[in-house]
Structure 1
Amino acid sequence: MTIPFNTVPLSEHRRILERLPDLGYTDAWTGEAAGYDGFTPLALAAAWAPSLRVGTGVVPVQTRGPALLAMTVATLAEAAPGRVVVGVGSSGPPFVTRINGIPFERPYRKVRDTVRFLRAALTGEHVAGHFDSFTIEGFRLASVPRPAPPVMIGALGPQMLRLAGRETDGLVTNFLTVDDVPRVVEAMGPEGKTKEVVARLFVCPTRNRAYARAQGRAMLGSILNARTYSGFHDWLGRGDVLAASHRAWAAGDFRGAAAAVPDWLVDELLVHGSPEECRAHVQRYVDAGVTTPLLAVIPAPEFGAGPDGMARTLQALAPGA
């Protein structure tokens, strides 16, 4: 499950998180963009629901120094031994540069170097030397987590997917259809066949198709026109399908860009329907090669908003429901 939950203040998450294991949920993961940071909600989840695995899916490599990132992960892993996964990614200029004032440079190398640093540092090694994108004079964790947390990459393009398969413990990805999963897994290379594949799936359990599609378009209009996701879907073969949306976006017609996303693609990228239909759609992702389906829930009118509405939604979607 993706946390924090929409429409629920962080201060009111405890009673929902405590129930997740009993409902059949196994994990709580965060992202990090311009809202919540990637670690505070996980610390709370680890304390409030001690059986949940917690993970970052993902935090950018540019906005924290390598040592600070390692220290933060190690601290969380000491509080929740054996239950922490760190997923890192390149993010993009809107988050790295425009709101943090940090140059967005050589993203592939920065991700690769950070992964190599983390995999060494989290096992207690003394790390020193010149990486392509930074130099470390000398660092060793004062407290080494046991076991060392797995390190994953948030990847979309073929280069980063290959890196995930070759040098990490797994992949974190999102905004892909069921039919895209085999191609993404294949792009990880032969080593990727044994790695964990975490896919964030946006879910709105409503029978009101018009409502679901409106929610989906509001989200996908900007996402599918962002540089990284536009390139991802071009690589997946949707350049022609999304050409009208790209033209509208480039012209400043943001509503037109959202409206130009075809219904069928909205239906594939936003899981919606009855809770039973949503579970069946999620199962198709698993059958296609997703190891860990990571749900990001969009409130549905049938269940209401706020903490009580989210609790009802999660109960209806629960694996054991």
Structure 2
Amino acid sequence: MTEVTLGLSLAGIRGKGASLAEVARRAEQVGYDSVWTGEAWGADAFTPLAFIAGITTRLRLGTAIAQMPARTPAATAMTALTLQQLSGGRLILGLGASGPQVVEGWHGVPYRPPVQMTREYLAILRQALAGTGKVAFEGSVYQVPYTGPGSTGQGRALRSQLPGAPQTPVLIAALGPKNVAMTVAEADGLLPYLWSPRHWKNAWGEALAAAPAGFQIAPTVLACVGDDVEACRDEVRPRIALHIGGMGSKTKNFYANLVARYGYVEEANRIQDLFLGGDRAGACAAVPDDLVDDLALVGPPARIADQLAAWRDGPLSTVIVEPTDHTMLEAIAGIW
């Protein structure tokens, strides 16, 4: 069985930098391998990592995820190269396509089919991260230099002014089978959400069977440590219900589709109907215990230790724990 490293999601930390600094220092002290930030339509994913890079020495710094439609491939490469330089090469670059509600509703750009968009984005990003030549690409989504409608015709291929960092791990948050297959072929790893250690093969078994040696799989898993198992389940239900019920429309919700592929078809439909109908409390209550136990780590330390055996007995390289309260981070490290 290969070693599975422990990461910490920094989701939920708001406010002053002192709070972020405290959690990052504690994580480094008690043995976490990495910390991870994300973005939706509030804080960005990279600024907190630059802050953490200056106050830690060992922690790897991951984005789970940074949204590709929010930045051109070159802009992402610039940020990654800068962070690699500032942190001594500790960045893990996790990227995702997001969904049409965020892409068009917040970023104001068209939502493009994620498989082709991601493939082209990675091709340009790799060139820019390599730092060995001028970046040029001609695809159906991206053209660098741009020569299409509205161009001046004066664009020219450029090479990064910063030293290259081709060793930067690039992981993709893919959920659909086609996107996961593309990720296996083109990226260094996968960043799944709502991973099931019991049912992952139903969703991705064929695609992940083709993964090369060294391919990283780093799911984010909700966690709540406490003596009352049911109370711990109730702490994580809202997050699960939000993704299955509210992270997309009735016809386009990647998380609901994923859970359905795990075998929870009726449950996913009911959660969606309640959530989109405005009954969020009902949607949370509709998340069954079996599904919570499948997707999250909940209960006393001994129970979570038993649960972790299933997570370790699989293809994972890192488990990114997202605790319901960061006072739990030492307890989780102790279980690990």
Letter aligned with residue 66 of structure 2:
V
Paired letter, 2:207: A
| Pair 1:298-2:305 in alignment | no
Letter in 1 for 2:314: A
Are 2:217 and 1:209 aligned? no
TM-score under structure 2 length normalisation: 0.85
Q: Matches of residues 39-118 of structure 1 in structure 2 within 5 Å?
A: 39-118=46-125
**How does 1:26-41 map onto structure 2 within 5 Å?**
26-41=33-48
Task: Pick from 182, 186, 191 the counterpart of residue 167 of structure 1.
Answer: 186
Question: Offset at 1:19?
Answer: 3.0
Q: What's the secondary structure of 2:308's corresponding residue?
A: helix
Report matched runs for 1:137-148 at 5 Å. Answer: 137=145, 138-146=157-165, 148=167
- Say if 1:81 and 1:145, in contact at 8 Å, map to a contact too: no
| Residue number in structure 2 paired with 1:281 | 307
Q: Is 1:82–1:147's contact at 8 Å kept on the other side of the alignment?
A: no
1:231 to 243, 252, 257: 257
Residue identity (%): 28
Quote how far apart the aligned CAs of 1:31 are.
1.3
Taking the aligned partners of 1:252 and 1:5, their CA distance within structure 2 comes to 23
- Alpha-carbon contact 1:28-1:53 (below 8 Å) kept: yes
Q: Secondary structure at the match of 1:44?
A: helix
Q: Which residue of 2 aligns with 1:133?
A: 141
Structure 2: which amino acid aligns with 1:127? V
Unmatched segments (≥5 aa) in structure 2: 1-7, 146-156, 248-252
Q: What are the superposed Cα offsets for residues 165-187 of structure 1, whole Å, 9 maximum, x if unpaired?
A: 11111111111221133453542
Q: 1:316 to 1:252 in 2, by over 3 A?
A: closer
Q: CA deviation at 1:13?
A: 2.3
Q: What CA distance in whole angstroms lies between the structure 1 residues aligned with 2:110 and 2:317?
A: 34
Question: For this pair of structures, how many residues does the alignment match?
Answer: 310
TM-score under structure 1 length normalisation = 0.88
Tell whether 2:126 aligns with 1:119.
Answer: yes
Alpha carbons of 1:283 and 1:43: their partners in 2 closer, same or farther (altered >3 Å)?
farther
Could you tell me whether the CA contact under 8 Å between 2:13 and 2:19 is conserved in 1? no
Partners of 1:146 and 1:249 lie apart in 2 by: 43
SS of match in other structure, 1:62: helix
Distance 1:31-1:231 versus aligned 2 partners, 3 A rule: same
Query: For residue 306 of structure 1, what is the aligned residue in structure 2?
Result: none
Q: Distance in 2 between matches of 1:44 and 1:35?
A: 17
Opposite residue 88 of structure 1, the aligned amino acid is: L
Q: Give the RMSD, CA atoms, in angstroms.
A: 2.2
Match of 1:221, as an amino acid? A
Judged with a 3 Å threshold, the aligned counterparts in structure 2 of structure 1 residues 108 and 245 are, in CA distance, closer, same or farther, namely same
Q: Is the 8 A contact 2:69 2:107 kept in 1?
A: no
Kept in 2: contact 1:31–1:56 (CA 8 A): yes
Q: Name the CA distance, whole Å, in 1 between partners of 2:43 and 2:142.
A: 27
Distance 2:281 2:299 in 1: 24
Judge conservation of contact 1:3–1:28 (CA < 8 Å) in 2.
yes
1:158 CA displacement? 0.5
With 249-258 and 57-66 compared, the bigger mean Cα shift is at: 249-258
1:126-183 deviation per Cα after TM superposition (whole angstroms, max 9, x unaligned): 2113122111112321102445311111111101111111111111111122113345
